[in-house]
Structure 1
Amino acid sequence: MRVHGRYCVSSGLFDLLVVGAGRSVVLPVPGQESGRPSGAAGSRLVGLVRGGPQDELVLPTEDGPRFLPRDHVVSEAVSGLDPLLGLTLVRSDYDPVVGTATTATGDVLGYAARLLADELVGVAEGALALALEHVRERHQFGVPIGSFQAVRHRLVDAYVDAEGARSLLAAIGPDAAPDVQALVLKASAGAAALRCVAAAQQVCGGMGFTAEFDLHRYVRRALALDALLSGSEAAEEHLGALALRGRVLPDRQVVLT
């Protein structure tokens, strides 16, 4: 997924990795999460899927995954901030079937959050690569603007953010307990991606805000992905609440088992 983020591409790989072939995972609509997102309000389903709905939709809930056949779902393409992300709004009044948790669907949201974090790190890396290319080629006062100390400091700070999120992904393996760890990864990667695209826009100047320059694709993708499964700020607040209950050490981002 990191390569997807680095080049701002979309495919069916996200659903394939989270819930397997022929299925789509239903994500809660941003702003409608309540604690650990469930994606459902009563028996009525309102959520988002990436790309068009597959043959079966997997709805993560507090009681385990539930399943909906595609025939019972009404879908509507969402343009939003990042039309190329391919989000689709799905609705259904059909009561989903309770499923048995398996390796593929036991903690769908935790695994989905980890993949989103990986993709966000790729977005951060892609934005920085674009910014570096620009500051090497753009000249002012007869020298590349990348030679100016203020520009270098801004990009170094952004690189540290991206590298920190990438290292955290490597440190917390995919087999770790998914709930708190996934939240840590998503919060770290989302914050890093937002800071990196902001730094890239800063050093690219007015060019960074034009549609002709590819940076706008990374800005849109970072904002859209960060909003899925709770934004980085909301995730950090939730981690703070967990820390008060003794579940995490926020200064080291170490998860207690």
Structure 2
Amino acid sequence: MTQPLDLLYSETEDDLRAAVRALLADRAGHQTLLDRIETDDPYVPGLWKSLAGDIGAAGLLVPEELGGQGASHREAAVVLEELGRAVTPLPYLTSAVVATETLLGLAGQGGPAAELLAALASGERVAILAVPFSTAPQPAAAGTGFVSEGPVRGVADAVAADVFLASRPDGLYAVPAADAVVTPLTPLDLTRPLAVVDPGSAGGTRLADGEAARAAVRRGLLAGAGLLASEQLGLAERCLEETVRHTRERHQFNRPVGSFQALKHRMAQLWLDLVGARAAARAAADALATGDPDAPLTVAVAQAYCSKVAVRAAEECVQLHGGIGMTWEHPAHLALKRAKSDQVALGSAGRHQDAIAALTDLPAPE
């Protein structure tokens, strides 16, 4: 009998949320981010150490015996909700979730994978899976796997990496960043840098070969896609909160603009969308945490729904802020760009809808 999903937040999760939110408010406010994206390095100095090492967020998915916190995807989802709310430029999703989960699929073998996992859990190192950020958990075609030969375009947070996990035809390798060629790109979302990464066709430490490597990469991408929904949820919630606050304070014709019926309806509909997004994101996090066999389906549902809600919330935030929302000085554009880039990250909504059809044996009409 399948265990019912738990969509509620625990006291531990609420405490973690409070700690992360306080850190981001103090160190990574919107003005700080607006200033950082004007530079070549959007990452706030010292913030990763505080979040990953001091709070221990980098090791949430890692068992205690491997040097981690022994928590679960539910706690990691809470961290991503807060990072999404603040549109924070940190390699948390890419390193502490995707790369970490990939290595967890190999940790039972011990050796280099377990050693690297311990370094990631402590926040001392950042690992990035060298695949395009748009890669979905299911390969585009049967038998293709996730192998990339030659330079890989669109690798997220590559500029922050200490080590790359490179999927080659003969297995998965850990390649030091110093041995790879990283060419930064100019992304739409300046808070999540993209780059072309050439990890080379030789060198590095082999972590796994054959089907074990492909299964580990698939596991990492599935966890990433599932928890990306929580980042999108946090972003959408913050957009709605800021929009409601602004429309209460902004007056026209001696009345708050939020009292106009047309705007009330738009915000009420967005709130309903958020309720659904919260349920979908929490369901995905809980399914991953409990090892639910239906996790691939739950993750696909969450991504197909939450990516659209995040974009709509960000669009409404820009539009309902009026003229100020269109300016570079207002942070609304940060949320919109993050939402749009997340919409195609780890599989587009269409790809996840195709996955839902396949997993439920409901093929699309011809």
**TM class by shorter-chain length?**
0.7 to 0.9
1:31 Cα deviation after fit: 8.6
Distance across 1 between alignment mates of 2:226 and 2:170: 18
Distance 2:306 2:167 in 1: 22
1:67 corresponds to 2:147: no
Residue 97 of structure 2 corresponds to 17
Distance 1:106 1:222, change over 3 A: closer
Answer with 118-127 or 171-180: which moved more: 171-180
TM norm structure 1? 0.81
Partners of 2:302 and 2:165 lie apart in 1 by 23
Deviation per residue, 1:181-237 (Å, 9 max, x gap): 32222221101101111222232223221112111110011011122112224433x
1:231 aligns with 2:348: yes
C-alpha distance in structure 2 between counterparts of 1:138 and 1:8, whole Å = 24
Aligned partners of 1:162, 1:51: CA distance in 2, in Å? 31
Letter matched to residue 5 of structure 1: G
2:169 paired with 1:46:
no
Contact 1:11 1:51 survives alignment (8 Å) = no
Distance 1:16 1:132, change over 3 A: same
- What is the letter of the counterpart of residue 247 of structure 2? V
> Separation in 1 of the partners of 2:308 and 2:82?
19
Q: Aligned match of 1:86 in 193, 197, 217?
A: 193
Question: In structure 2, what is the equivalent of residue 176 of structure 1?
Answer: 292
SS of structure 2 residue aligned to 1:85: coil
The 1:3–1:165 alpha-carbon spacing in structure 2 relative to 1, beyond 3 Å, is: same
2:93 paired with 1:6: no
Note the 1:192-207 alignment, pairs <5 A.
Answer: 192-207=309-324
Residue of structure 1 in register with 2:208 after alignment: 99
The alignment-based identity, stated in percent, is: 24
- Cα distance in 1 for partners of 2:280, 2:133 equals 27
2:238 maps to which residue? 126
Q: Give 1:189's aligned residue.
A: 306
* Counterpart contact for 1:64–1:98, Cα < 8 Å: no
CA contact (8 A) 1:29 1:39 kept: no
1:112 CA drift (Å):
0.9
| Cα 1:121/1:140, change in 2 over 3 Å | same
Q: What is the match of residue 264 of structure 2?
A: 152
Bigger mean CA deviation after superposition, 111-120 or 224-233: 224-233
Give 1 or 2: higher helix fraction: 2
CA distance in 2 between counterparts of 1:159 and 1:197 reads 13
Are the aligned partners of 1:60 and 1:108 in contact in 2 as well (CA < 8 Å)?
no
- Residue of structure 2 aligned with 1:209, choices 318, 326, 339: 326
In 1, the alpha carbon distance for the partners of 2:244 and 2:158 equals 32
AA aligned opposite 2:309: A
Choose from 152, 177, 184 the match for 1:77: 184
2:321 is paired with a residue whose SS is: helix
C-alpha distance after superposition, 1:35-70 (max 9, x if no partner): 2795544x3251403252533322469x99722412
Q: Is 65-74 or 91-100 further displaced after alignment?
A: 91-100
Give the letter for the 2:292 counterpart.
A
CA offsets, 1:127-180, max 9 Å, x none? 112211110111011110000111011111112112211111223412334433
Structure (1/2) with the larger strand percentage: 1
Kindly name which structure, 1 or 2, has the bigger radius of gyration based on alpha carbons: 2
Whole-angstrom CA distance in 1 between matches of 2:199 and 2:351? 27
Conserved in 2, the CA contact under 8 Å of 1:40 and 1:46?
no
1:58 equivalent in structure 2: 165
| Cα separation, 1, equivalents of 2:312 and 2:199 | 37
Aligned to 2:343, the other structure's residue is in SS state helix
Contact 2:85 2:231 survives alignment (8 Å): yes
Amino acid at match of 2:258: G
